[in-house]
A = this chain, B = another copy of it.
């Protein structure tokens, strides 16, 4: 049995208000191609199919198209579980009517774990889909209170679910668990929504180690925990700038009874990368002219220490997809200003002089400078001597 393990598609997600639907279609097309090239039997999606419980209609249409290609055109089996971002009832609608076609969608958690036997000419395998569920949901579905079972943490809830997997007789076939959860020690990205506050969501990787493969979703960086076969595929795109150094991929897995799973990462290439560039404006604008990847989604950290009029507009004339701008230089300058009245005054005046010349195209005259001096002095007097005048300095952050 050979399958692709992927997760965290988050179809419909935006990055700093920029729709990523085109980027998602681009990378999902690669997954279809990879599935075909590597002659897999199935594609497993470990949750967070959509980004929201009510996805936009365009996201529904994209998923529909991808499933038609995988299932109707390529004849593959697809198994997906609901993650913490998905609407379980919505995602699970008409799931029973889809199963015969090879599409297995597991929305709400049910008390009867349904092992799904996926077929392959090289040997079948049993898949155990565990949709994301809060401990409270597990408690309710399994009537834990009536049975005197303690299910207060994610770890206890998972232990209860895995007990069913353990006790199921797979008739010697490999057991693959599909789950959406947070394993203790996993490395997080900024684009994940925490499952719980204060670490109560952490599950020990040891719970999973006995199974043949564990296809996990939730963490956006590809990684394994405990053993190589207890693994996050990671998301299909960088969904935050904190992921700029991650290499996104899907996982190609071969499972056979009684031998360790064979694992290979298949890299994904984004239509537009998500990355951070840093430098002075003039230099960046210059670099941009020959930057073949200037359409990437960018966070720009400007190192210039002086005020710049419409920095975002100037950057976007070269890099059309700047999504976020940080005036690192300004902030550094601000921090560097000693809390000394003379220094502060000098800083502000210098900045205003830059600003004035950019707007008017002329230098500040002596008379103009005197007026400005008077205004600044008055401002500082009104604020008192507490050093509060640093508030006059513009904060260096601007977001698209």
Contact = CB atoms under 8 A, between A and B. Distances in A.
Interface stretch (A19-27, A95-103, A124-132, A258-266): A95-103
Contacts of A103: 94, 97
Nearest to A99: B101
A124 to B, nearest CB: 20
Given A57-B90, A89-B60, A90-B60, A97 B96 contact: no
Contact of A101 (B57, B68, B90, B101): B101
Contacts of A99: 101
Most chain-B Cβ atoms within 10 A of its Cβ — which of A53, A61, A97?
A: A97
Contact of A98 (B53, B61, B89, B97): B97
Contacts of A64: 89, 92-95
A101 B94 CA distance: 10
B96 A68 contact: yes
A72 B95 CA distance: 11
Contact of A94 (B53, B88, B94): B94
A54 interface: yes
A195 interface: no
Contacts of A93: 60, 63-64, 93
Q: How large is the interface on A (under 10, 10 to 19, 20 to 34, 35 or more residues)?
A: 20 to 34
Interface in A43-63: 53-54, 57-58, 60-61, 63
Nearest to A102: B97
A64 B105 CA distance: 13
A87 interface: yes
Interface string A84-128: 000111101111111111110100000000000000000000000
What is the copy number of this chain in the assembly?
Answer: 2
A183 to B, nearest CB: 29
Is chain A's interface secondary structure helix, strand, loop, or mixed overall?
helix
A94 B87 contact: no
A372 interface: no
Nearest to A105: B94
A364 interface: no
A71 interface: yes
A67 interface: yes
Contacts of A63: 93
A332 B195 CA distance: 61
Interface in A339-354: none
Contact of A71 (B58, B61, B97): B97
A64 B88 CA distance: 12
Contacts of A87: 57
A100 B101 CA distance: 7
A89 B56 CA distance: 10
Given A57-B87, A64-B95, A97-B98, 15 more contacts: A54-B54, A57-B89, A57-B90, A60-B93, A63-B93, A64-B93, A71-B96, A94-B103, A96-B101, A97-B97, A97-B101, A97-B102, A98-B98, A98-B101, A99-B101
29 contacts: A54-B54, A57-B87, A57-B88, A57-B89, A57-B90, A58-B89, A60-B93, A61-B89, A64-B89, A64-B93, A67-B94, A67-B97, A68-B96, A71-B96, A71-B97, A72-B96, A72-B97, A94-B98, A94-B103, A94-B105, A96-B101, A97-B97, A97-B101, A97-B103, A98-B98, A98-B101, A100-B100, A100-B101, A101-B101
